[in-house]
Every structure is written in C-alpha cells, then in structure tokens.
Amino acid sequence: MPNTVLVGAQWGDEGKGKITDLIASKYDYVVRYQGGNNAGHTVIHGDKKLALHLMPSGVMYENAVPVIGNSVVVDPGVLVKEMAMLEAEGISCKNLKISCDAHVIMPYHKDLDGADEKSLGEHKIGTTKRGIGPCYQDKVARKGIRIQDLMDEKIFRLKVETALVQKNAILEKIYGLHTYTVEEICEEYLPYARILKQYMAETSQMLNDAVRAGKSILFEGAQGTLLDIDHGTYPYVTSSSCCAGGAATGSGVGPVNIDRVLGIQKAYITRVGGGPFPTELKYAEDGGEGIEAEEGETLCQVGHEYGVTTGRKRRCGWFDAVIARYAADVNGLTDVALTKLDVLSAFDTIKVCVAYECNGERYDYFPMQQRVLFHAKPI
C-alpha cells in the first residue's frame, strides 16, 4: 500500500475513525501525528463501539504497529486508562510505540485551559479543557516536559520544579486556583512512567527504517482542516497542525515519502465550539424556527451528531463546496471519502453551498479574513 495521510477535510468529526478502521489492516504502521485527547475516534469491535482518544486506530489490528508521534500531546493518565479498556476487550496494546519526543500534558495545563476559557466569557473558543493548548504553548516556549523526561525521575523532578515557579504563580495570583507541589505531581505521574516506559521509542528513526524496508504507513490525523492552527478559522481552532503537512512534522517522515492524501468529508458539515459556520442550520431549542430549525434538528438526530470526547451536541449545516475546494488545496488531496451520505435520505430536498456572499460580493474561494467569513451567507 502507498504511504497515505488520512485527514479531516472539514471541521473534524467527518468519520476519520471509521475510514481508518476500514483501511488500517492494509498498513504496517498507523501513526497518530498531532493533537491529544481532545479528539475522539469511534471504532467498532465485534458488537461494541469503542471510543479512542489517544490510541491510533491501528491498535485494532495485530499486523499494524500503532504509533503515537512526536507532535501528539499525551495525557498519560488518559492513555493508561485507554490501554486498560482495550486490554479488557481482548485488544492487545503490546505493539504500541510512543515517541520519546511527544510532550506530556500536566495537571496545571488542564487547570489553565479551563481558567483561560472561562475568562473569555461569551468570546470563548470552545476548548475541551483538557490542557491541549497550554501544553502546546509550553512546547513552543521550549518549557515543555516530554515523554523521555517522564522516564527519568531526576530530570522530571527538576523540570516540574522549574515549571511550578511560573505555573503556581499564575494559578494562584491570576485565577485564584489550587497550586501544586513537586511531590504531588510525581506521586501521580511516576507510576504512569513505569507503565509506559516499555512503549517509548525513537519513532522517527523507526518509521524511516520502515520506509526503507518497503513497509507501508498510514498517517492518521485528528480534528480537521478548518481547525488547523495555521489554516483554520483562527482563533476558533485547535493548537496543532491538522492538515496533511502536519503528518511530516508530526512523525519525522519526510513529505517525499508520502504518496497519497485521503480527505474525509461528510455529506453535510458539523463543527463543535465557537467560530464562523456559513451553512449552519439552527435548532429549535436555540431560538431557531421554521424549516431551517427542523433541518438542523434532523441532521443532528439522524446523524447522531454528538461529540465522542465531550458528548456535546454538534452544530450542523449543509455541505459546503467552498470548504471542500479549500481543503483539497491546502492538503493536496489525492482522494476523498464521503461519509454519512445515508443521513440525507431523511430529506426530500438537500442543499449544497457553492459560494459565499458578503456585502454584495461573491466569494468562490474560502476567505480567511474574519470580517468576511463571520458575515458570509451561503449561496
């Protein structure tokens, strides 16, 4: 099989987990290359639905090596629980490899995430409050703690002590929240290190060796194109590179070794959290009325549009071809998988957005300027 990037081509929740689950058995490695447990993939095992948040979907197949890449941020408590859940279902995690360069989500990251979101009030972004953004902030500021640091108690203690000087001051003096001691964090995190140590690996070297050996790799993205930190509807985005380009930086495999880019799109569109959404339909409970409110409720209920990670009701709208063209460009899509087409059977008539209108001007392309996008009407 050609080395393939599987990427969400809308705002996430396009059905990436299902498509990954369908094709992962054909690959030797399945690599999660960005994000954290702010994402969720639903996969089917026998007659059960399993929700994966950090574990690559390739774990479902004995022949595929599941890899957590260097650009993923890892909450070790969540990962350990997810592994235990899978093992209880008879699914082995023995082949899992975790990049030693992946960054670790700390308790103070989660506290800061929630406090930051609350402080924004009505302008909140819609974060899952799982510490993803603050962890990436520390990574970019070169103050982060990585998986390899967690495996060395002396280094881990030193880095936690250094971090707490600033984090405790912010938690206490700005937000009036609980502060942490080094011992408190070590007591929680060091047991995780003992469990995860056997899975840590130099994953970039391992994957490049696999390429040279003629092995096949599936790069599995989380979230979607319009949640990309660079190419999404900023600031209503996630904190990582969701687009296909992120597969190279998030795994250490050069782009010349990527053969195909498979974009996953739904036959309509959903998004979670705040931000612009030109084709959005309203819900009756949110003050909407008439046919649009009925259409919104129908898409949500028939499509079962509730977040895997949060359980939140998703915002729903008609298919947006402007976004589809944009996603094809920024990802370099070679293929598209269209999901949930059957949901549209609930309608006698469906709509497709082919362009936007704003202040009397037509936009056939996706405008990145907020002053346009926030006021765009679908044609």
SS3 content of the chain, % helix, strand, coil (to 5): 40, 20, 40
What residue ranges in the chain does DSSP mark as E strands? 4-8, 29-32, 41-45, 48-52, 65-68, 73-74, 97-99, 103-104, 200-201, 217-220, 260-266, 268-271, 280-281, 315-320, 335-339, 352-353, 356-358, 361-363, 377-378
Give the Cα-Cα-Cα angle 234, 327, 367 (nearest 5 degrees): 50
Query: What count of residues does the chain have?
Result: 379
Please say whether the beta carbons of 324 and 318 come within 8 A: no
Distant-in-sequence, close-in-space partners of 201: CB < 8 Å, separation ≥ 6: 97, 98, 99, 100
Alpha carbon distance 116, 208 (integer Å): 39
Asked if the peptide bond before residue 255 counts as cis, ω within 30 degrees of 0, the response is no
Catalytic residues: 13, 41
> What's the token pair of residue 90?
């008879």
Alpha carbon distance 244, 8 (integer Å): 9
